[in-house]
Amino acid sequence: MSGSVARRASHRGVGGSRRSLRLHGKGWLEKSQVFAGQGLMPDVKFIGDDRLIEFMRRVPGDRRFTNSQNDEGRLWVDLEDADPAAVLNGLRGARPYYSLKSALMPAIELVARYGQAQDDPLAEVGDAHVVLIGVRGCECRALSYLDAIMLDEPMPEPFYESRRKNCTIVSVDCAVPAESCFCNLLGEPAYAEANFDLNLSPCEGGFLVEAGSETGEAILADASSLLSDATGEQQDARDDMQRQAAETLDGQNAQYGLPEDFAESMPATLEEAFWRAELAECVQCGGCTAVCPTCYCFLLYDQEAGEGAYERVRVWDSCQFTGYSEMAGPPGTMKPDPRRGHMSKFQHRFAHKFWYSGVYPGILGCVGCGRCRDTCPGAIDLRRVLSEMQSERVKNE
């Protein structure tokens, strides 16, 4: 289970000032071992490229998934099936096309059996332990959001809770941000600050390794024969890499400006023309919500599973689908759809991430990963929409 550590206090803030856009909600972080609260700083180790795969295999788990970059793209792959060169490329390159969400919330999942079928699907999830290697800082921040929703007391979601407890997170610094990334606009760095067990920082000839939890410390101790102490020069090179990544983000996002107060800017601009221009490009495919690391909407349906046996299945849903939010009613009728129009659904996605989420759970529902821009067939860019929102707000003042 990933812990929370105030990472690298000696160089926190590398890459520019941080805007205070987030509120800190209740999540798994409060249940984690906080190294900084004990006045401890994790040791920094070095692992060479030639030993990295062996080191990954030392991380306890039933299955290990890692970043991979080759001619097929930037993907998550099973470590046992991965080409070592592609793994090194993946960990040094831009983030994968897909987030880690599906490892904790599968796109389709059996959640109940009834009738003659009595086996509990939750028991089948069991204690299977998964290791995720190459989780980016934006995804670690997405975990805070998902935890606040899915682990909220008094009724935490049991399937998510089981997988979350049995998941080891190995994060990696983004040495090469994707062109669509904009975590800097949200006041965030291109590296993880919490919610990781181990963190990797690419450097010449290998990676610097830091622990972020007691689990991570134990892994480093077990693999000590593969590691050496990081030199001061290597740590300085890591800091330079982080600065360069921050400068890249500042440069590629210089044309965009986000509202300082979404709760005021969004309702004040809902009738502006720029919304209609953006809406014209949306085909309601739901790709944006599928790749988003914080979207969690789902749909339940029942199906037969043999004579007298039935199953309940959960699948990902999307607020952008035409049928989303329709409610059942008497035969031959449907209750009113609270978001019947396309525009209402389109604007809801932005409102949920930047307006409603500030109220509950108190954390922005966007982490700036840019995946929605990459997958959108209409090239709708969240940065552009928010910048238009800010421009119209200023114009109308």
Question: What is the maximal distance between C-alpha atoms in the chain?
Answer: 72
| 200 token code pair | 């990797």
Residue 37 confidence (pLDDT): 37
Q: Under DSSP, is residue 216 helix (H, G, I), strand (E, B) or coil?
A: helix
Expressed in percent and rounded to 5, the helix, strand and coil fractions of the chain are 40, 20, 40
pTM over 0.75: yes
Q: Residue 84: how many CA atoms within 13 Å on its side-chain side?
A: 11
Contact criterion met (CB below 8 Å) for 293 and 367 = yes
**Angle in degrees, 0-180, between the axes of helices 342-351 and 382-396, rounded to the nearest 10:** 90
Residue 6 confidence (pLDDT): 41
How many C-beta atoms surround the C-beta of residue 96 within 10 A? 25
Report the C-alpha gap between 381 and 387 in whole angstroms: 10
Give the helix/strand (H/E) hosting 384.
helix 382-396
Place of tokens 């790709």: 287
Q: Residue 97: how many CA atoms within 13 Å on its side-chain side?
A: 12
| 279 token code pair | 């809406």
Place of tokens 């500030």: 358
Residue 167 confidence (pLDDT): 95
Digit-by-digit pLDDT tens for the chain (397 residues) are 555 444 443 333 333 332 333 332 323 333 233 343 333 445 899 999 999 999 999 999 999 999 988 877 888 999 999 999 999 999 999 999 999 999 999 999 999 999 887 788 998 887 789 999 999 999 999 999 999 999 998 999 999 999 999 999 999 999 999 999 999 999 999 999 999 999 999 999 999 999 999 999 999 999 999 999 999 999 999 999 999 999 999 999 999 988 888 888 888 898 999 999 999 999 999 999 999 999 999 999 999 988 889 999 999 999 999 888 777 776 666 666 667 789 999 999 999 999 988 777 788 999 999 999 999 999 999 999 999 998 887 676 6
Residue 8 confidence (pLDDT): 45
Report the C-alpha gap between 349 and 274 in whole angstroms: 16
Place of tokens 């609270």: 338
Q: How deeply is 337 buried, as exposed, middle or buried, from its count of CB atoms within 10 A (0-12, 13-18, 19+)?
A: middle
Residues 200, 203, 206, 210, CA torsion sign: negative
- Amino acid making up residue 113: R
Report the C-alpha gap between 125 and 48 in whole angstroms: 35
